[in-house]
């Protein structure tokens, strides 16, 4: 082994070591770094337009873009999160005090079921709803207790939240200001052909915008519409149900219908016919059509993933990365598909013998 090869291997080993060490020290704030990168990509077009209008004043353009992001994204998320945690804590107190009788709702739902359905449930082995009532009650208590504990920890870890928010906004400012230079340096470091690097960068930007802007905006729209109709129909805790519908709308095999569907059935069987009809029509014709109307416009055909891949990657991302996994999972899956598409497109085609 000559000296040049040894130096090259030593340099590669050093790069791997310091890269792993750098990732290790960033792990406590990986969420802040991740969302700074994502928001930087989403707001990059706005940053470029402001630079053109302000005569290449990058600092001012980055500051205005950061302020816009803070107003339309960060502050609403903080406010909704605080209200959600507070409402979850109130529900826990109501269940604990007996004011909110979950078991009573299940029992009344059982009583209003037609005899045919009750016999069908008995044939399936689930006719005895006593165990189901206990499970629903236990699940409601555990879920509300989780929000109550989050409300307590929210006050205890305010300093950590502020630090993470500060890190994200600080990084976002520099990503907006120096984004093109950072991208150029990353492209220089990637050992691929220039055409492949250009295609991969283009795919990455499209996937990020499609995954975040498309999927999250569709989820927010469905959750907001679901919460609105729950509020109109005087369903308790509409904000909590709205957030739950927004999360479930990210799962194509489940969707927001798993929340508003049982509520509509309960209305119909409990005698509140007009509420059940209104909720059913609104859920099918408004909430259900949002996905079909908005997603093709926001996501596009070239970056949309199959429903089964979105389902698996979302659940897997949630299990591995926690709440951030709702975005990280589909993003990794989309990049996986795009990268393999680029790889297979560059391979020579093998001619099979006749």
Q: What is the pLDDT of residues 278-301, one digit of tens each?
A: 888 888 888 888 877 776 666 655
Q: Are residues 203 and 111 in the same domain?
A: no
Burial class (CB in 10 A: 0-12, 13-18, 19+), 111: exposed
Of 30-44, 66-80, 120-134, 310-324, least confident by mean pLDDT is 120-134
4 inside domain: no
Does the residue 13 lie in any domain? Answer: no
Q: At what angle do helices 158-189 and 194-208 cross, to 10 degrees?
A: 150
Residues 134 and 33 in one domain: yes
Same domain assignment for residues 170 and 204? no
For residues 37-59, give the mean pLDDT: 85
67: in domain: yes
- Cβ atoms 212, 190 nearer than 8 A: no
Across the chain, mean pLDDT equals 75
Residue 349, pLDDT score: 47
pLDDT at residue 107, rounded to an integer: 61
141 vs 99 pLDDT, higher one: 99
Structure tokens given for 287: 């909430």
Look at residue 67 in the predicted model and tell me its pLDDT. Answer: 92
Strongest mean pLDDT among 7-16, 67-76, 202-211, 327-336: 67-76
- 168 and 40 in a single domain? The answer is yes
> What pLDDT, in 10s, does the model give residues 319-332?
888 777 877 887 88
Region 47-66 average pLDDT: 86
Question: 247 or 173: whose pLDDT is higher?
Answer: 173
74 HSE (CA, 13 A, CB side):
20
Number of domains comprising the chain: 2
Q: Please indicate, yes or no, if residue 18 is contained in any of the structural domains.
A: no
pLDDT at 272 over 60: yes
Does the pLDDT value for residue 245 go beyond 80?
yes
CA–CA distance, 178 with 64 (Å, rounded to integer): 15
Cα(183)–Cα(42) distance, integer angstroms = 14
Token digits of residue 231:
């509020």
Is 304:295 a contact under the CB 8 Å cutoff?
yes
Do 266 and 337 lie in one domain? The reply is yes
Final residue of a domain: which of 147, 178, 209? 178
Q: What is the mean pLDDT of residues 6-32?
A: 85
Distance between start and end Cα atoms, the chain: 47
Q: Over the stretch 77-118, which tens digit does the pLDDT of each residue have?
A: 888 777 777 776 676 666 666 665 555 565 666 666 666 666
224 and 113 in a single domain? The answer is no
Instruction: Give residue 42's pLDDT.
Output: 84
Three-class DSSP labels, the chain: CCHHHHHHHHHHHHHHHHHHHHHHHHHHHHHHHHHHHHHHHHCHHHHHHHHHHCCCCHHHHHHHHHHHHHHHHHHHHHHHHHHHHHHHHHHHHHHHHCCCCHHHHHHHHHHHCCHHHHHHHHHCCCCCCHHHHHHHHHHHHHHHHHHHHHHHHHHHCHHHHHHHHHHHHHHHHHHHHHHHHHHHHHHHHCCCCHHHHHHHHHHHHHHHHHHHHHHHHHHHHHHHHHHHHHHHCCCCCHHHHHHHHHHHCCCCCCCCHHHHHHHHHHHHHCCCHHHHHHHHHHHHHHHHHHHHHHHHHHCCCCCCCCHHHHHHHHHHHHHHHHHHHHHHHHHHHHHHHHHHHHHHHHCCCCCCCC
Q: Are residues 337 and 307 in the same domain?
A: yes
CA distance 70 to 43: 11
For residue 350, the model assigns a pLDDT of: 43
Same domain, 58 and 167: yes
Name the residue range of residue 200's domain: 196-343
Higher pLDDT, 133 or 12: 12
Q: What's the Cα-to-Cα distance from 178 to each of 47, 87, 91, 130, 173, rounded to whole Å?
A: 11, 41, 46, 61, 9
Q: Which of 127, 149, 178 is the last residue of a domain?
A: 178
pLDDT value for 89 = 66
| Amino acid 94: pLDDT | 65
Q: How confident is the model at residue 104, as a pLDDT?
A: 59
Average pLDDT over residues 51-55: 83
Distances (CA, A) of 311 to 282, 297, 318: 25, 20, 11
pLDDT for residue 14 is more than 80: yes
CA distance 170 to 126: 55
List b or e across 164-199, with b for residues whose CB sees 16 or more CB atoms inside 10 angstroms: beebbbebbbebbbebeeebeeeeeeeeeeeeebeb
Lowest mean pLDDT, pick from 145-159, 195-209, 244-258: 145-159
Read off the pLDDT of each residue in 212-227 and give the average, rounded to a whole number. Answer: 83
Worst-scoring range by mean pLDDT, 40-54, 127-141, 263-277?
A: 127-141
Residues 6+ away with beta carbon under 8 Å from 92: 141, 144, 145, 147, 148
pLDDT tens, position by position, 155-209: 445 667 788 888 889 999 998 888 888 888 887 777 777 777 777 777 777 777 7
Do both 204 and 328 map to the same domain?
Answer: yes
* Range with the poorest average pLDDT among 206-210, 258-262, 284-288, 332-336: 206-210
The mean per-residue pLDDT over the stretch 123-128 comes to 54
- Is-contact 166 34, C-beta < 8 A? no
């Amino acid at each position: 082994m000559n000296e040049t090869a040894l130096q090259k291997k030593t340099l590669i080993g050093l790069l791997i070591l310091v890269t792993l060490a750098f990732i290790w020290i960033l792990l406590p704030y990986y969420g802040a770094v991740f969302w700074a990168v994502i928001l930087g990509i989403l707001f990059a077009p706005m940053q470029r337009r402001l630079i053109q209008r302000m005569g290449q004043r990058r600092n001012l353009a980055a500051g205005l873009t950061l302020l816009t992001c803070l107003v339309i994204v960060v502050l609403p998320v903080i406010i909704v999160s605080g209200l959600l945690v507070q409402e979850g804590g109130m529900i826990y107190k109501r269940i604990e005090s007996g004011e909110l009788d979950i078991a009573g709702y299940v029992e009344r739902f059982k009583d209003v079921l037609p005899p045919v359905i009750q016999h069908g449930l008995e044939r399936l082995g689930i006719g005895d709803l006593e165990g189901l009532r206990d499970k629903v009650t236990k699940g409601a208590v555990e879920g509300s207790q989780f929000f109550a504990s989050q409300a307590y920890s929210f006050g205890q870890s305010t300093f950590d939240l502020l630090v993470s928010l500060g890190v994200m906004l600080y990084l976002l400012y520099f990503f907006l200001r120096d984004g093109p230079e950072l991208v150029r340096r990353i492209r220089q470091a990637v050992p691929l052909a220039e055409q492949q690097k250009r295609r991969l960068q283009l795919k990455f930007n499209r996937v990020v915008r499609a995954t975040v802007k498309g999927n999250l905006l569709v989820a927010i729209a469905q959750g907001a519409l679901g919460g609105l109709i729950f509020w109109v129909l005087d369903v308790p805790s509409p904000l909590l149900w709205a957030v739950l519908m927004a999360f479930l709308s990210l799962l194509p095999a489940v969707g927001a219908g798993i929340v508003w569907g049982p509520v509509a059935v309960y209305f119909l069987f409990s005698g509140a016919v007009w509420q059940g009809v209104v909720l059913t029509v609104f859920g099918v014709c408004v909430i259900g059509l949002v996905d079909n109307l908005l997603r093709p416009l926001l996501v596009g055909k070239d970056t949309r993933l199959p429903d089964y891949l979105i389902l698996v990657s979302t659940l897997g991302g949630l299990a591995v990365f926690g709440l951030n996994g709702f975005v990280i999972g589909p993003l990794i899956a989309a990049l996986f598909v795009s990268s393999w598409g680029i790889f297979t497109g560059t391979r020579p085609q093998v001619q099979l013998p006749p």
